[in-house]
């Protein structure tokens, strides 16, 4: 089957089959990444703009490497986050870039839905590298790929997602993706960080405590506490947060033996994860990063009109 979308903005917009296609393609792409010469001509002559309105090292680099391994020309732009206050609107910026005829714009933006706004108005493909607290589909896909590597399936997994769900686009993409693939998702965090109606997001259970969420879990996914977003009202102190919502070797024992520990990074060591867990045997954090490149190659490939052929 072919991939029919011009853009990839949210896993909410994709079917189970489309998600599977992206994961399968990513598996194929991984082979390229293990070669001595990590480059194929697939997207030769294509121009990709990485337009990052928010600071990012790993996601931007990962997209850039993905583009280059497919032989596309990738350009990075980091406009001031306050372009609106400088007078140029997002649409004006985009129109200017459009005049330079890119094929794909990979964008990160602090405002949820900014990608839909562009996608409706520009003919090129838009890939979401994170929008506000909405979605981060490449992260969701790389997380699912990492889980599938470990278990061979996603159906029937118990996945605990712990932390600041309200502000987490990673959580939203994972919830959308995982519930479509048949996983059961359990959320935990301080009630100040669990959004209204979260239980309606799919096959999701909101737990009263972290222990309840990770009890018997196959996967424990810890979310980053975004210190810049917590203000003064959501948490008393990081110390208290880590005590009640941090993952350490003790509470990890509640999860299944050999359960996967995941984190989208960057980790606040000693807050979300104790270093024993972050660097321990059960941590899959570096595998997540590794899979990121393959997943992003798959995304670039499919929005460019690529068809997966079994090799």
Site for another protein in 86-105 (CB under 8 A): 89-91
Residue 266 marked as a ligand binder: yes
Task: Specify the residue, 56 or 304, whose C-beta has the smaller distance to another protein.
Answer: 56
Residue 189 sits at φ, ψ, to 5 deg, of 165, 170
Residue with the two structure tokens 């259970």: 205
CB 69 within 8 A of CB 33: yes
Site for another protein in 166-185 (CB under 8 A): 169, 172
Q: Does 200 bind another protein (CB under 8 A)?
A: yes
Q: Using the 8-state DSSP alphabet, how is residue 256 labeled? A: P
Residue 139 marked as a ligand binder: yes
Please count the other Cβ atoms lying within 10 Å of the Cβ belonging to residue 116: 17
CB of 153 to another protein, least distance (A): 26
Stretch that binds another protein, among 22-30, 113-121, 179-187, 279-287 (CB under 8 A): 113-121
Q: Residue 88: CA atoms inside 13 Å, Cβ hemisphere, count?
A: 12
Round to whole Å and give the CA distance between 242 and 271.
Answer: 5
CB 142 within 8 A of CB 105: no
Q: Considering CB under 8 A, how many residues would be counted as binding another protein?
A: 25
CB of 280 to another protein, least distance (A): 32
Using CB under 8 A, pick the residue from 24, 42, 65, 116 that binds another protein: 116
Q: Does 227 bind another protein (CB under 8 A)?
A: no
Using CB under 8 A, pick the residue from 20, 98, 111, 234 that binds another protein: 111
Q: Does 60 bind another protein (CB under 8 A)?
A: no
CB of 135 to another protein, least distance (A): 7
Q: Residue 163: CA atoms inside 13 Å, Cβ hemisphere, count?
A: 29
Residue 86 marked as a ligand binder: yes
Q: Does 122 bind another protein (CB under 8 A)?
A: no
CB of 215 to another protein, least distance (A): 25
Q: Does 82 bind another protein (CB under 8 A)?
A: no
CB 160 within 8 A of CB 221: yes
CB 260 within 8 A of CB 150: yes
Residue 53: is the preceding peptide bond cis (ω within 30°)? Answer: no
Q: Does 147 bind another protein (CB under 8 A)?
A: no
Beta strands in the chain (DSSP E): 47-52, 73-77, 104-109, 125-131, 158-162, 184-188, 204-206, 219-222, 260-262
CB of 266 to another protein, least distance (A): 21
Residue 148 marked as a ligand binder: no
Closest by alpha carbon to 260, among 195, 174, 164?
174
Q: Does 306 bind another protein (CB under 8 A)?
A: no
Q: Does 84 bind another protein (CB under 8 A)?
A: yes
The enclosing H or E element of 109 equals strand 104-109
Binding-site members for carbamoyl phosphate are 58-59, 108, 136, 139, 265-266
Give residues in contact with another protein (CB under 8 A). Answer: 12, 84, 89-91, 109, 111-114, 116-117, 131-135, 169, 172, 195-198, 200-201
């Amino acid at each position: 089957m072919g991939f029919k979308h011009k853009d990839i903005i949210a896993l909410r917009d994709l079917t189970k089959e489309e998600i599977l296609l992206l994961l399968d393609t990513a598996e194929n792409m991984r082979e390229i990444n293990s070669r001595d010469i990590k480059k194929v001509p697939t997207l030769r002559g294509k121009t990709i703009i990485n337009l990052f309105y928010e600071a990012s090292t790993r996601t931007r680099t990962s997209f850039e490497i993905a583009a280059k391994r497919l032989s596309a020309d990738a350009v990075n732009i980091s406009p001031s986050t306050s372009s609106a206050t400088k007078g140029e609107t997002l649409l004006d910026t985009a129109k200017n870039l459009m005049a330079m005829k890119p094929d794909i714009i990979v964008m990160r933006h602090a405002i949820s839905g900014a990608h839909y706004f562009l996608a409706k108005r520009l003919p090129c493909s838009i890939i979401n590298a994170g929008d506000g607290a909405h979605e981060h589909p490449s992260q969701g896909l790389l997380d699912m790929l990492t889980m599938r590597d470990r278990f061979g399936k996603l159906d029937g997994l118990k996945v605990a997602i712990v932390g600041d769900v309200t502000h987490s686009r990673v959580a939203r993409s994972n919830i959308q993706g995982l519930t479509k693939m048949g996983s059961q998702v359990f959320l935990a965090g301080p009630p100040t960080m669990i959004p209204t109606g979260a239980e309606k997001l799919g096959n999701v259970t909101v737990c009263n405590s972290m222990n309840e969420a990770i009890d018997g879990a196959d996967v424990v996914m810890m979310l980053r506490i975004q210190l810049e977003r917590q203000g003064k009202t959501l948490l008393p102190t990081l110390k208290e947060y880590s005590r009640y919502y941090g993952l350490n070797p003790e509470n990890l024992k509640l999860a299944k033996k050999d359960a996967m520990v995941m984190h989208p990074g960057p980790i606040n060591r000693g807050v979300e994860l104790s270093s024993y867990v972050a660097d321990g045997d059960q941590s899959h954090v570096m595998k997540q990063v590794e899979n990121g490149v393959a997943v992003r190659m798959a995304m670039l490939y499919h929005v460019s009109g690529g068809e997966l052929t079994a090799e």
